[in-house]
Amino acid sequence: MSLYHTARTFKLPESKARCTYCSTEYMRVEGQYSICPLCESIVATGEKSPLDPALLSKLAGIKVSITKGSYLEAAENAETLATSQDPKVLYALASLYKLLSDITYLDVDYSLKAFMERNADNKNNETKRNKHNAMHLESRNRECLHKCIEILELSGASDEQSIFIKAMAEIKLKRYAHATIILSKQPDKGLALMYANMVLATDSKEKTAEKRITALLKAGETSAIFYAAKYLAMRKEFDNAERLIDIISAFVNLPKYGIYKKKISSVAQAAGV
């Protein structure tokens, strides 16, 4: 069975979950924990957020601001958390910074000629007034990832969640060799480490990517559909990739899926497909 067919026929889990970091609601597999589809944090089943209520409220508020299109508000609120020394907060915050960066970048049409008047006409849009431009937001994303790695290394933490965050942060920084070293020292079992290995294999274009994505799909991990779409897009199967994005968007309506679909369409158009 092809990866596309496996993802297309994915059966949505029936248990509901709410991320204990960014408060995203989604359907999860049965087990001790699941992975949030937005910030990709480990979410323990049935447990309250490990964060201070004030921190949780701020993180959730950033996600809400993004959802309702208040990007300036989201960016300003994110700045208040960037000084945190909690690697879990920094890791979740990095994903929100990345989302904001992508939204800001894609809101400008770089294909326009001359003075790009249409972009100038949009200057009153909140995104255009946002002093935190895409490059700055991407820089803040990377700063958060570097910082959480540094904190975890200094602490010497070796629990599963710390290893997961450290490996995922390295992957998001595209330091695949570092992530490989971290994960190679761990048993390739348990949802979190299976997930990290899947993301590493997909993003670094390893031969094991399709096998790892399929394993997570069969385990009922909803986010594996996104990585199946990403894998197919890398193989220039753009139509199938877009169809999978539509499927996961119906399950979990997140801005990042719409953004990635735009990226697929842009690459497909550039490739003349």
pLDDT tens digits for 181-223? 999 999 877 889 999 999 999 999 999 999 999 999 998 899 9
Question: What are the sequence ranges of the domains in the chain?
Answer: 14-223
pTM over 0.75: yes
Q: How far apart are CA 2 and CA 4, in angstroms?
A: 5
Confidence (pLDDT) at 273: 54
For residue 202 the two structure tokens come to 């997909």
Confidence (pLDDT) at 68: 86
Which residue has better confidence, 267 or 114?
A: 267
Q: How large a percentage of the chain has pLDDT more than 70?
A: 89
Confidence (pLDDT) at 129: 45
Confidence (pLDDT) at 75: 87
pLDDT tens digits for 15-31? 888 898 988 988 887 77
Buried/exposed code over 74-106 (b: 16+ C-beta within 10 A; e: otherwise) = bbebbeebeebebbbbbbbbbbbbbbbbbbbbb
Kindly indicate the confidence band of residue 154, based on its pLDDT and cuts at 50, 70 and 90. Answer: very high
* DSSP result, 200-242: HHHHTT-TTHHHHHHHHHHTT-TTHHHHHHHHHHHTT-HHHHH
Confidence (pLDDT) at 227: 96
Collapsed DSSP state (helix, strand, coil) of residue 16: strand
Collapsed DSSP state (helix, strand, coil) of residue 25: strand
Phi, psi of 61 (to 5 degrees): -65, -35
pLDDT tens digits for 72-120? 889 889 999 999 999 999 999 999 999 998 888 776 544 444 444 444 4
Q: How far apart are CA 257 and CA 74, in angstroms?
A: 19
Contact 189, 168 (CB under 8 A): no
Kindly indicate the confidence band of residue 131, based on its pLDDT and cuts at 50, 70 and 90. Answer: very low
Q: How far apart are CA 109 and CA 119, in angstroms?
A: 7
Confidence (pLDDT) at 122: 46
